[in-house]
Amino acid sequence: MIRLSVNINKIATLRNARGGDSPNLVQAAIDIQEFGAKGITIHPRPDERHIKYKDVSNLKSIITTEFNIEGNPNKKFIDLVLANKPDQVTLVPDAVNAITSNAGWNTIKHKSFLTEIVTEFKRNNIRTSIFMDTDLDLINATAKIGADRIELYTEKFAKQYAKGNSSAIKPYIKSAVLATKLGLGINAGHDLSLDNIEFFAKNIPNLLEVSIGHALISEALYLGLQNVVNMYLYRLNR
């Protein structure tokens, strides 16, 4: 079964807009798990514009499925992960001023840096995933870093699929086949939605998990959160 991990950054953004505690992030995470999602993802950033660092320990105490923390592994992020020991950490090379993640790692250029970080997280029994484009040379290099999984960055697929170009899935299939051959698990995320998730899931071999936030929360405004979570689960695994 392909796991759905819901990124709750957008719920935190809505909460922060009024400076209070509504919607309550912890209750949202509890509800999302009860609705059937198999994980909660957060992506804290240095400016705390959505997830605040104090949110992490509060969420850790109530997550009964899988806790995935994404982010650029600066010292503050590393310390946060080691203090809270999530089930999975996803390393993302987003710049401080980036609105959202916009590229995967160059695992050749940053091999030594990533190897050191992955080794430390795995020493603490935290599964590691590296955010990746579909460059096969870089996926080959990732296997030498020691990561457990890759997360395929799916924005290019989503944009092309929306234009009717279903062949945009091909580089992702090749990447998944290679990753499996190298012993890497496969996650995916970014701009996956109810419109494209079923096609993506049916075509990517050995897909383990998708992390979806922006589209899911946006769709929930019209269709309801519980309904949308179950619509994703249905499309992922039918």
238 residue type, one letter:
R
Sequence-distant (6+) residues with CB within 8 A of 170 are none
Sequence-distant (6+) residues with CB within 8 A of 20 are none
132 pairs with which residues across the strands? 152
124 C-beta neighbours (distance < 10 Å), count: 10
Contact in structure between 170 and 157 (CB atoms under 8 Å) = no
Catalytic site positions: 43, 70, 190
Can you tell me the distance from the alpha carbon of 177 to that of 214, in angstroms, rounded to the nearest whole number? 28
Contact in structure between 145 and 107 (CB atoms under 8 Å) = yes
Strands 127-132 and 67-71 come out as unpaired
